[in-house]
Structure 1
């Protein structure tokens, strides 16, 4: 098979650095048909910013995966709690789920959580000392959001590390067997957790969450699926957000020095950090339910659609000199959290966690530096998310 006919989103070079691939594809056409996988299947990939925004809000693009695969054979074996979430549904089912999820992450609710997030960061950094080495991913970027979202769901501390590992497995692009097995581990665990809480009166975080689900009209299975989505999406992308942001700053010393000298600028820098290296590279599955036109391209009904926020956020038509990290840029139009009715409801929490973590790192260890070449750092092999598997630092 020629290189032209191969899936561009599965090339090893794409996982290491997707942006040259995105630039090449966008230059050819910001909406184009590409091969996906190895079974002769195709999808439409959207790499332009204006086209991505348009697609995110087009009601003819459905996220109901069950509807798409109803008459198509599939060899996947995902647990229902993972395969049937708010992310894989359309209104009105999506509306009911979102009505429960959104109040959990309002600006006011996140403001109340900030002292707890700060305590978690303090605890994680309590053993760090200048002159020692850490892995920012393992020592901060993973445990911080895992701890926070598990606390919100009432997941016991003893189970959190394993759940985090299985969540990472869900995004493995190399082995669907690993992904499917991880989905069953998480789905079964959360089903048991929810069933135990439903059978045992209490006032803990999980009981509060389940009352919200009941009041919102969600049944038991829907409550489990929402818990699964909050667990996975509530920490996976935030982990990558923190790791990507720290690496971006270390690779741009002027920007890093500016934030070190003026930590109050960190909240305003988050949009540009999200734009520059988005933790969501390609958004989750959509398909066309009718013939439609996006940009200058006609798309027939019944085709998969892949919207790439990672590509859209580097579109020079919207963000001049997009491959440069510019803290003075107005990057508020980035699509790292999506757009439209499926925009990530947990965005305020992710921003708060990243802000508090970056502020603590830069103020306590202002001269921290990499201990390995930036270009050699391994990345997760996933087309959906972009994140580091390790970020070795020397504290100073």
Structure 2
């Protein structure tokens, strides 16, 4: 009969813990763990969701409820999940073994991660597809001289002079060429083989990243986590030097204090906090479960959350500096050109950089940045699903 761990001498207890951790796997270094968490917490939402949400919810005033949510809820929850994973040494299904009644919660986290992987894989396949068009002699979303364009197509420069219903060249390019959306849900349309190939390439890259579990994920994070910041900084320098950039940044950050009385603003701040930091998804617990048992995770949590907040504001300045330039060139107010989601990333922003000298260069950097931001989250979720199912 094996003696209980508590009855073993300290040296043997330590060796037993080391063997248990070695069998499950550990991060090669603390840097890999931090970079992976940064990649998980920082994604496409920091670029295409937070900036729009901030300006729509009172600009700089939105930062008040957002920071309160981060300080009062985000940091404690983030730190708690990291400590749970680190202490238990198991994923989100295994941590509920102490309370079997809640085991279904862990299973739900696995299902959420599966949905997340499928959804994000499709999203980050769009930048892969867009990179192909960046190598054309002229970026195809800049004009209306293509087979997919309709008679209502117009360039953004002429949009304010058009009467009646019209669509910009960038809008038609994304919806009629990239997505090839059918007229209505009754007509499904055919297979977009180019998009299928882009999705296949995306899945292959994800597979290569998670091929050896945390060993490969940790090594990949050395590139996928910091490199988007290099691209973001290049776009920042270019954006703030454009004419009209100051108007866009002012529009983004100008505080409307009366919006603090709107409960929806506070709800949006809470949603963005959960959406950005990712507590409750299981990814934090799973990644922390490969830590050394005695790792001091307080600093890790504060660092990752701080980087997340900084990146959201930084990306907002980058985006709205270019939108200010677009407004200045087109004569359309910033409030109209500013959109969120895929419309911002694949229509409005490409529309703006198409007006710059050598638009292919700026487009390549932007779409590579989007892809890297997205693949970080997908890789963590994919690794989580693998270990939650196979290891626990």
Q: What's the TM-score, normalizing by structure 2?
A: 0.31
Higher relative contact order (CA 8 A, sep 6+): 2
Which has the greater radius of gyration? 2
> Hey, which of these two has a bigger chunk of helix by percent?
2
- Comparing both structures, which one devotes a greater share of its residues to strand? 1
